[in-house]
Amino acid sequence: MSEKLWYKIARRFIKAGTFPMPVNDSVIEILKLVITEEQAKFLLLLKKPSYNIDQIKELTDLDDETLNKMIKDLNHSGALTAIPSRSTGVMVYRIPPFFPGMLEFTLMRGETNDTTKKIASLWQKFFDEMVKGTQHNYDFMIKTLKDAGVTIDRVVPVEEEIDIKQEKIIPTEEVSKILEETEKIALMTCYCRHRKDLIGDPCKTTDLRKNCFAFGRGAEYLIRENFAEEISKEEALKIMKESEDAGLVHKAFHNALDPMREIEGMCQCCKCCCGTFDNHYAGGIPLMSRSTHLAKISEDDCIGCGTCVEKCNAEAIELNDDDKATVDEDRCIGCGVCAYLCPQEAITLERTDPRNVFVPPPKISEN
């Protein structure tokens, strides 16, 4: 297949998402490791966002046996998802976005072999190229992303630090409530930490690896295709608690990255590996999160120990001249890690109106 056709299929994956990015050699090389030329040509037939099986049959001359195998193999690789419609129950097939999307599928099984090592290296090259692109076109890129109003994730605060009595209702972001409301929970390997393991740069925050979740209909697909394993709500809560103790941020991902739509999954993110945090500090992308809480610090109770400064994944806290912790509200993502880990219990979370946190990446000196 010509490079032009590989470029077209790469564009198809990228257009399936809402996060703008260019097609480069790394994108194409990753796809070549995941799908065959025959599969790529088949996927190019799928020009709409979604199809049922009858609609797909109208696009191809493949007999039923060959078509079923094609779809089955693509489902297993993650290059074509198969999730039933919420309203009708009919199976719906979609090409997933490239990022986030194919990033997760390529490394979600937690496998370590020559292919996954190469994929991990290509992802790192992809992110390095993203950093270069942002830095070389900094003002344009930041304005484009800010004007687009994209939020990659929604931050779910550590529930113990929310004043339920003041709120009078249990906040919707509460982790246990999210878990309680879902019918099925899938547990998979953290693809971000696994990627770092594969390139020899392991996580500096935690040894936890299997602590990412998918919910509902998406979870059924991941379990069926052996991307993940089904776990109970009790097991999920235990893993959430371990993640909180490690200072990880709960990030909820929604359908089409729209925080008003259903939650599809939840990651437990660290500053050094998370695809959004890591690439933000490298200079590649802004922090773009949806939040409904802010950290508030009691000066009377704060002893200036610096725990919150060290643990804040958003670098939103610093010590002032009086050795008291202060919060940069423009950077605070309301995750509650600082409050949860504060030894003096000097930090609480306050509910806010829904807000989009947008923090431009640092400008990296070329010298």
Reported as a single tens digit per residue, the pLDDT across 334-347 is 888 999 999 999 99
- Round to whole Å and give the CA distance between 30 and 359: 29
Q: State the pLDDT at residue 170.
A: 25
For 216-260, the pLDDT digits (tens) are 999 999 999 999 999 999 999 999 899 989 999 888 776 655 555
- The fold of 3-136 is Arc Repressor Mutant, subunit A (1.10.10)
Count, residues in the chain: 367
Q: State the pLDDT at residue 259.
A: 54
Hey, what are 138's tokens? 């900094």
DSSP designation for 159:
G
Name the residue with tokens 């990296």. 364
Distances (CA, A) of 234 to 229, 240, 251: 14, 10, 19
156: exposed, middle or buried (C-beta count within 10 Å: 0-12, 13-18, 19+)? buried
Centre a 10 Å sphere on the Cβ of residue 282 and count the other Cβ atoms it contains.
17
Mean pLDDT of the chain: 88
Q: Is the pLDDT assigned to residue 367 strictly greater than 70? A: no
Q: State the pLDDT at residue 183.
A: 83
Q: Are 366 and 285 in contact (CB under 8 A)?
A: no
Q: State the pLDDT at residue 28.
A: 94
How many CA atoms are closer than 13 Å to the CA of 90, on its beta-carbon side?
A: 11
- So where are the chain's domains? 3-136, 139-359
For 11-65, the pLDDT digits (tens) are 999 888 777 677 889 999 999 999 999 999 999 999 999 999 999 999 999 999 9
Q: State the pLDDT at residue 153.
A: 53
Centre a 10 Å sphere on the Cβ of residue 91 and count the other Cβ atoms it contains.
15
Q: State the pLDDT at residue 186.
A: 96
Tell me the pLDDT band of 181, cut-offs 50, 70 and 90: confident
Q: State the pLDDT at residue 115.
A: 96
Q: State the pLDDT at residue 86.
A: 85
For 121-151, the pLDDT digits (tens) are 999 999 999 899 999 999 998 888 787 665 5
Helix, coil or strand: residue 67 = helix
For 316-335, the pLDDT digits (tens) are 999 999 999 999 999 999 88
Hey, what are 313's tokens? 């994944």
